[in-house]
Amino acid sequence: MTATINTKNERIREIQEATWIGYTQANQILDNLEDLLEHPKVHRMPNALIIGETNNGKSTIVNRFIKRHPAIFDEREDFVELPILSIEMPPEANQDSIYISILHELQSPYSYYSKKEQKASQVIGVMKNYGIKMLIIDEFNNLLDNTLLKQAQVLNTIKYLGNQLQIPIVAVGTKEAHRAILSSSQLANRFDPHVLPKWTLSTDYLRLLKSFEEALNLDSQSNLASKEMAIQILNMSEGWIGEISMLLKKAAIVAAKKGSNIVTLDILKKLQWKSPTERRRV
């Protein structure tokens, strides 16, 4: 009995672990980020903008990319090389908060009261010392929560960092992030947009479901790509890949508790599940 319980618990833990699904669009974005990372230094570095609604896979792609390029430690030389620096756009962003976010992430001591010019100089020096080759700014859409003046100042700060360091900058956010960048004529043509749309009932979507079936180690009898299952999953998730992932993991756990690896239509329909629209309404 104990062995059976342990087996079920192990199976549930396996399901709960992060699942990477390398669908076509995600792989294309990863390839583009790799190209940017290896781009030679030029005066006007190319940048990228990853656009998608909440829970539609943006952070998963970015985290996957960062894990491919971890920090390199050399204890003998007391040296650390950090290929990629990732920060989050502060809710009340301004020039100071951008510099502070970078210094905080790099665990570099700073004086909150020092002038912006001093912080800028320190940021550039520290980033060069770490050998940073790319700056990623998540939640870029937070920028629109500020006045037009502060938005312009932050965008100028980002342009300044890109020019001084000659590194690509990757902005990540919702469609509002695109609107923020378009407000700067000097930055608009430097950011190549990559949009992650909602999934629809298509060949790519069915292929995605088959990938989830394999990644979650489900029995082939689950047949997630069958017409009834595919439509049910699409309706419940509303086409967001993050929702699809959570939904299928929850259904797989229900199956595992029954000692099965088969997700059925009945399990999906009986789940206590609220769609994104229903959750927003609540």
> What's the pLDDT tens digit per position in 241-261?
999 999 999 999 999 999 999
pLDDT at 1 over 50: no
* Residues forming a β-bridge with 134: 84
Q: Is 148 left (phi over 0), alpha (psi -120 to 50) or beta?
A: alpha
CA distance to 5, 51, 179, 272, per residue, from 267 (Å): 21, 33, 41, 10
What DSSP assignment string belongs to 20-79? ----HHHHHHHHHHHHHHTPPP-SS--EEEEEE-TTSSHHHHHHHHHHHS--EEETTTTE
Round to whole Å and give the CA distance between 224 and 230.
Answer: 6
Could you report the per-residue pLDDT of 77-127, keeping only the tens digit for each?
666 889 999 999 998 888 899 999 999 999 998 888 888 899 999 999 999
Rounded mean pLDDT of 48-72? 92
Give the least confident one: 8-22, 55-69, 207-221. Answer: 8-22
Rounded mean pLDDT of 159-164? 94
Helices (H) and strands (E) in the chain, counts: 13, 7
Residue 67 CB: number of other CB atoms within 10 A? 10
| Whole-number pLDDT of residue 264 | 96
pLDDT at 2 over 60: no
**CB within 8 Å of 204: residues ≥ 6 apart:** 23, 24
Q: Give Dmax over CA atoms of the chain in angstroms.
A: 67
- Give the rounded percent of residues in the chain with a pLDDT score beyond 70: 96
pLDDT band, residue 5 (cuts 50/70/90) = low
Rounded mean pLDDT of 29-37? 97
Exposed, middle or buried: residue 25 (CB in 10 Å: 0-12, 13-18, 19+)? middle
Name all contacts of 109-114 with Cβ < 8 Å and 24+ positions apart: none
**CB within 8 Å of 223: residues ≥ 6 apart:** 229
Could you report the per-residue pLDDT of 209-224, keeping only the tens digit for each?
999 999 999 999 999 9
Rounded mean pLDDT of 36-65? 92
CATH architecture of 39-195: 3-Layer(aba) Sandwich (3.40)
CA distance to 25, 39, 104, per residue, from 109 (Å): 39, 30, 8
Q: Tokens for 78?
A: 């007391």
Q: Tokens for 158?
A: 């980002």
| Whole-number pLDDT of residue 77 | 61
Domains in the chain: boundaries: 39-195, 199-280
| Whole-number pLDDT of residue 265 | 96
Round to whole Å and give the CA distance between 96 and 200.
Answer: 42
Round to whole Å and give the CA distance between 22 and 27.
Answer: 6
pLDDT at 4 over 70: no
Average pLDDT, the chain: 91
pTM: 0.88
